[in-house]
Amino acid sequence: MARTDAIVLGAGIVGTSVALHLAKRGLSVALVDRAGVGEQTSYGNAGIIEGNTILPPAFPSDAGALMRIALKRASEANYHLSFLPHVLPWLLAFRAASRPDRLAETAHLIRPLFSRAVAEHEALMAEAGATHYLRKNGWLKIYRGEKSFAALAPEFDLAAKFGLPLQALDTAGGQALEPSLNPVFAHAVFWPEAASVSNPLGVTRAYAARFTALGGIILSGDARSLHRTGNRWRAETNEGALDAAECVVALGPWTPDLLKILGLSLPLAVKRGYHRHFRATGNAGLSRPILDAEVGYLVTPMEQGIRLTTGAEFAARDADPSPAQFDRIMPRARALFPLGEPADGKTWLGSRPCLPDSRPVIGRAPGQAGLWLAVGHAHWGLTLGPATGRMIAEMMAGEPPFCDPAPYRAERFN
Ligand SMILES: Cc1cc2nc3c(=O)[nH]c(=O)nc-3n(C[C@H](O)[C@H](O)[C@H](O)COP(=O)(O)OP(=O)(O)OC[C@H]3O[C@@H](n4cnc5c(N)ncnc54)[C@H](O)[C@@H]3O)c2cc1C
């Protein structure tokens, strides 16, 4: 096989963006996946490029909410009882990272990366001919009660500090933006600088096509075949063994499968999530993603229909689907928006790859020369794929990274 400078393992939005940024710097790159480009987690998400993310998702601080989740009466979260002992250490670390002071610290640490999210997508979309997927019309979060809206005060303070615009709206204001919403909410917040896409799979495929146009190759292979040979990394592919001095791991929720073989470990858990597609009734429509904050789901207009995505389910990554949250969500969702018949009758399950401090790992793998990690993007892998790709490529090329990589080092878990 021809000279390869770098192997990228995993062709989700993160790995594909990394591969494209490396190819743009003139490197000879092979992108390896056992499935099709963008067909796993990066296919089924809610399509939000959430560049104005401020606070990460937090462990519930409200005893009532926790009790509802424990009793499996919550619509926003679910769990498999048999899985709890396995995920307990992660949950405790997540709870510790959810203290108000830690959340505020995280907000400051992640801002430089998130602030580039939309611009980095726009740049790649322009060269990949994918701009038609992009909607730069923000997203709307609705709040049914006063308590949940009042709890936003710290986030509004941080938004002002970061210079992020928002509009706090009443019911009529929310309906002015989205006329098909019913007045089941008291408040809405419009975040105009968020963007979204109408087909996340289409976006990743377009970036992959741009990558191959620049000379990159996409191969089928099992990432778990990666091993050292001399001072290089070798992966087995359908076209034979592939050697390179540098290798980037971007395996999303499957990252631990390879790290374990290499003797590395990260506290990576999954928050599973589901989606279903619906038609809208009559002339109803949506222009942008809507978060129903207390109920804990999103509805987003996609090419396939209205995509309804669920919140977190704590269960083993490979356990059978258990989409019980839909039973609790559907009556509330139908009350908000006139969802019609299922568009394709399918229920999709994906796994958000999450670290307990809600920051991805982007940088060198500890103690493994030439190995890089771009993993753990949790709720924001679509958002951060291109920014991560730029950052890794800059570091690998010896250029100064556009933002401080220290918050993303794997060593923070040592
Ligand atoms: C319900 C839901 C809604 C979401 N909504 C949003 C949103 O609105 N905005 C947002 O920014 N993010 C969202 N996310 C999160 C986002 O989808 C993920 O963070 C992102 O897709 C992760 O991308 P990735 O490239 O790391 O992983 P993946 O897309 O899973 O890519 C990993 C790749 O590795 C490959 N692979 C795995 N094991 C092997 C192996 N052994 N050999 C070869 N290849 C292998 C897989 O086939 C896959 O292609 C959501 C997630 C869910 C579940």
DSSP state of 406: G
Q: Exposed, middle or buried by CB within 10 Å (0-12, 13-18, 19+), for 400?
A: exposed
DSSP state of 118: H
What is the CA(71)–ligand 1 centre distance, in A?
A: 29
Task: With H, G, I as helix, E, B as strand and everything else as coil, classify residue 290.
Answer: strand
What is the CA(368)–ligand 1 centre distance, in A?
A: 24
> Is 129's pLDDT higher than 70?
yes
Shortest-distance Cα residue to atom 38 of ligand 1: 254
DSSP string, 61-102: --HHHHHHHHTT--SSEEE-GGGHHHHHHHHHHHHHHTSHHH
Q: Exposed, middle or buried by CB within 10 Å (0-12, 13-18, 19+), for 330?
A: middle
Tell me, what's the pLDDT at 3? 79
Shortest-distance Cα residue to atom 3 of ligand 1: 45
Does the pTM surpass 0.85? The reply is yes
> Is 153's pLDDT higher than 90?
yes
Closest CA to 137 of 167, 113, 108: 167
Which of 48, 248, 251 maximizes ligand 1 atoms within 8 Å of its Cβ, making it the mutation to test the pocket? 251
Q: Is the dihedral of CA 135, 137, 142, 146 positive or negative?
A: positive
DSSP string, 214-281: TT-EEEEB-GGG-EEETTEEEEEETTEEEEESEEEE--GGGHHHHHHHTT-----EEEEEEEEEEEES
| CB-based contacts of 73, cutoff 8 Å, min separation 6 | 328
d(CA 414, CA 405): 17
Residue 323 Cβ < 6 Å to ligand 1: no
Going by DSSP bridges, is the β-strand pair 305-310/348-354 parallel, antiparallel, or unpaired?
unpaired
Per-residue pLDDT of 392-405, as tens digits, reads 999 999 999 999 99
Residue 252 Cβ < 6 Å to ligand 1: yes
Tell me, what's the pLDDT at 64? 84
Residue 309 Cβ < 6 Å to ligand 1: yes
Residue 196 Cβ < 6 Å to ligand 1: no
Per-residue pLDDT of 172-210, as tens digits, reads 999 999 999 999 999 999 999 999 999 999 999 999 999
Shortest-distance Cα residue to atom 52 of ligand 1: 45
Task: With H, G, I as helix, E, B as strand and everything else as coil, classify residue 336.
Answer: helix
Read off the pLDDT of each residue in 301-316 and give the average, rounded to a whole number: 97
Per-residue pLDDT of 370-386, as tens digits, reads 999 999 999 999 999 99
Shortest-distance Cα residue to atom 51 of ligand 1: 45
> Is 310's pLDDT higher than 80?
yes
Per-residue pLDDT of 224-240, as tens digits, reads 999 999 999 999 999 99
Residue 382 Cβ < 6 Å to ligand 1: yes
> Is 2's pLDDT higher than 80?
no
Task: With H, G, I as helix, E, B as strand and everything else as coil, classify residue 132.
Answer: helix
Which of 121, 218, 275, 382 maximizes ligand 1 atoms within 8 Å of its Cβ, making it the mutation to test the pocket? 382
Residue 224 Cβ < 6 Å to ligand 1: yes
Residue 268 Cβ < 6 Å to ligand 1: no
Percent of the chain with pLDDT over 90: 93
Which of 31, 37, 41, 408 maximizes ligand 1 atoms within 8 Å of its Cβ, making it the mutation to test the pocket? 41
Residue 10 Cβ < 6 Å to ligand 1: yes
Read off the pLDDT of each residue in 79-88 and give the average, rounded to a whole number: 93
Is residue 1 very low, low, confident or very high in pLDDT (cuts 50, 70, 90)? low
Closest CA to 50 of 298, 234, 231: 298
Residue 376 Cβ < 6 Å to ligand 1: no
| CB-based contacts of 263, cutoff 8 Å, min separation 6 | none
Instruction: Count how many Cα atoms sit within 13 Å of the Cα of residue 66 in the half-sphere of its side chain.
Output: 8
d(CA 285, CA 278): 11
More confident residue, 213 or 78: 213
What is the CA(10)–ligand 1 centre distance, in A?
A: 9
What is the atom index within ligand 1 of the atom nearest the CA of 374? Answer: 26
> Is 414's pLDDT higher than 80?
yes
Tokens of 214: 């620049």
